[in-house]
A and B are shown apart, each in its own frame.
Chain A
C-alpha cells in the first residue's frame, strides 16, 4: 500500500497555488488556502473576496493539491461536500478545466485563486503557496 502511494507521489509534477498578478495577496498559508477551498472562508486574510476555482475531478493536479494542501483524498473530499451541501451550508468551488484555463481565469480575475502545475506559471499570475 505504502509503495503504491509513494510511487504515485513521485510521478506527480509540482502543484502551486496562484492568484492574479493584479491581486494584492502575496502569500498564503496552507490553512488559509484550505479554508477558502473548503468554503469555510470567502475572504483573504488581509481582506478582499476570495473566489476559488477547482480543476476537474480525476485531474492529477487536483488530486495532488487536495492531498498535499487540504489532506483529503478524492473520496474524503466527496464525503465532505456531501455533508456541506446537504446541510445547506454551501457548494464546492466552480470547476475550470485544465491548468491553462485555470491560469487564464485567475489572471483575469483579481479575486480568484486556483492551483496549477508549476510549469504553467507565467507573469500573469502570482504564486502564493508552494506546498
Chain B
C-alpha cells in the first residue's frame, strides 16, 4: 500500500512536469488575444503563490505557546518573540490540459517539527471535473476535516491571523494520499455538496511520527445564499512511532465527527464549528467567531475551547504520560483586526487571552519538569502580513 501511494504521488509529479514542458509554448501564444487577458480556464498554465510573515509574543515565559503539535518551539520559553507559529510561503502550479482535466502542485515552506523550514509537497493531484463542483481527484489532496481546512494555510483567505487554534489543533493532518469524489446538486437556490475521501497520511511531530491508514471521510455541505452548513465524519487507523523510545504504538481507530456553519451576507459574518474526536480518549472542541467589515477594516472576536479527554473502555490501562496528555484543556478569548491596506496584501493584529484549565497546563509546550501553571492565564499578541501573488 505504502509503495503504491508513494508511486502515485511520484507519477503525478512526473506527469505534471511533462505537461508543463509541453504547455510552455502554448501559454506564450494564447495568453493575450485582442486585448483580452485570459486568467481563467483557457490558460494552460498558472503559477501563483501565497505567504504570511508573522510574529507572536507570549506573556508566559515558562512554556511555549504553539499553534499545533507539529511545531517544535513557539513564543514564550524558547524565545520571547517567535516567527514560527504563522510564517510560511507557498507556491502553486496549476495545469489545465483540457477543459475537464486539471492538475495542481502546491509546495509549502513552513516551520517543521525538525526545526527547519524545509519545503513539503502539500498537494499533487489530478482532477477530472464533470462540472465546477462535481469531480474526482487522485494524488495528494486536502483533508477537509474543518470548514477552513482547504485554505488553512492561506492567511489572506480568512479574517483571523490563523483559524481558531483550540479547534484546529485537534486534527493536525492537512492532506491525504489517495482519492476523493465531490458531487453537487441543487434544490431551488440551495446547493448540496457531498465529498467522499479515501487515503492515508504520515505526519511528523518533534518526538514522534504518526501514520494514518485506511482514512475514510464523508462530508456534506449545504449552502443557501449567505448561509453554509457542514457536517463531516472521518475515521482512520493511526499508529505513532516514538523518536525518543523507538517504540511503535498499537493501531488505534480514530473517529472525528465535525459540525460547522457560517453566515456571511457581506458586511458582517458569524462562523462556528464543533468537533468530537475519539481515539483512546474522547474529547471535543468548539469556537464561535463574528466580525464586521468596515471598508478596509475587519475587526473580529472569537471564543474557543478545547475540553479534556476522557478514556474510553477497551484500551490498555493508560500510562502517566497519556493521562497527563488527555487532561490538557484550555479556552481562549480572541480579538483582532484585519486591514486590507493594499491590493492582495493584508495586515492583521490579534490578541489572545488563553486560560489554562484548573487541572492542566493546557497545550503549552517545552515546560520544565514539574511546572504547574494550572488555572493561569497567558496573553499572546500576534501580527502578520498576508499576501497572494
- Which stretch, B17-25, B36-44, B275-283, B369-377, touches the partner chain A? B36-44
Q: Which of B30-62 contact A (CB under 8 A)?
A: 35-43, 46, 48, 50
| Interfacial residues of chain B within 121-144, with CB under 8 A of chain A in the complex | 123, 125, 127, 131-133, 142
Is A87 a contact partner of B151 (Cβ separation < 8 A)?
yes
Interface range, A side: 35 or more
Chain A residues, CB < 8 A from B94: 88, 91
Are the CB atoms of A82 and B388 closer together than 8 Å? yes
Contact assessment for B344 and A85 in the assembled complex, using a CB-CB cutoff below 8 Å: no
Q: Are A82 and B151 in contact (CB under 8 A)?
A: yes
Beyond A79-B156, A86-B50, A91-B41, is A40–B90 a contact (Cβ under 8 Å)? no
Interface residues of chain B, those whose CB is within 8 Å of chain A, are: 35-43, 46, 48, 50, 90, 92, 94, 102, 104, 106, 123, 125, 127, 131-133, 142, 150-151, 154, 156-158, 189, 191, 225-226, 265-267, 293-296, 340, 343-344, 346, 388
A75 to B158, CA, bound (A): 11
Q: In the complex where A83-B157, A86-B48, A95-B37 touch, is A43 in contact with B131 (Cβ < 8 A)?
A: yes
**The residue from B102, B156, B265 contacting A71, defined by CB atoms under 8 A apart:** B265
With a cutoff of 8 Å between Cβ atoms, the chain A residues found around residue B266 in the complex are 71-73, 76
Which residues of chain A have C-beta atoms less than 8 A from B133's C-beta? Answer: 40
Tell me the smallest distance from the CB of B151 to a CB of chain A, in Å.
Answer: 4
Whether A76 touches B293, Cβ cut-off 8 Å, given contacts A31-B189, A71-B265, A89-B132, is yes
**A4-B295 Cα distance, complex, nearest whole Å:** 10
Contact in complex: A82, B132 (CB < 8 Å)? no
Decide: A79 and B157 in contact? CB cutoff 8 A: yes
Residues facing B in A81-131 (CB within 8 A) are 82-83, 85-97, 101, 105
**Out of B48, B151, B294, B344, which one reaches A83, CB within 8 Å?**
B151
Task: List chain B residues, Cβ under 8 A from A42.
Answer: 131-132
Q: Which residue from A57, A88, A94, A97 sits with its C-beta under 8 Å from B40?
A: A94
Q: How far is the CB of A32 from chain B (nearest CB, A)?
A: 9
A95–B154 alpha-carbon span in the complex (Å): 24
Please name all residues of chain B whose beta carbon is closer than 8 Å to the beta carbon of A75 when the two chains form the complex: 296, 340, 346
Known: A71-B265, A91-B40. A82 touches B154 (CB 8 A): yes
**Residues of A close to B157: CB separation below 8 A:** 79-80, 82-83, 86
Q: Is the CB of B132 within 8 A of A87?
A: no
| A3 close to B (CB within 8 Å) | no
Contact residues of A between 39 and 80, Cβ < 8 Å to B: 39-43, 57, 71-73, 75-76, 78-80
Residues of A within 8 A of B40 (CB): 91-94
Query: Bound complex: CA of A79 vs CA of B43, how far in Å?
Result: 21
A109 to chain B, nearest CB (A): 11
- Partner pick for B39 among A71, A76, A87, A92, CB 8 A cutoff: A92
Within 8 Å CB of B106, what residues of A? 86, 88
Which residues 1-48 of A sit at the B interface, judged by CB distance below 8 A? 1, 4-5, 29, 31, 39-43
Of the candidates A41, A79, A80, the one whose C-beta lies within 8 Å of that of B132 is A41
Identify the closest chain B residue to A29 (Cβ). Answer: B189
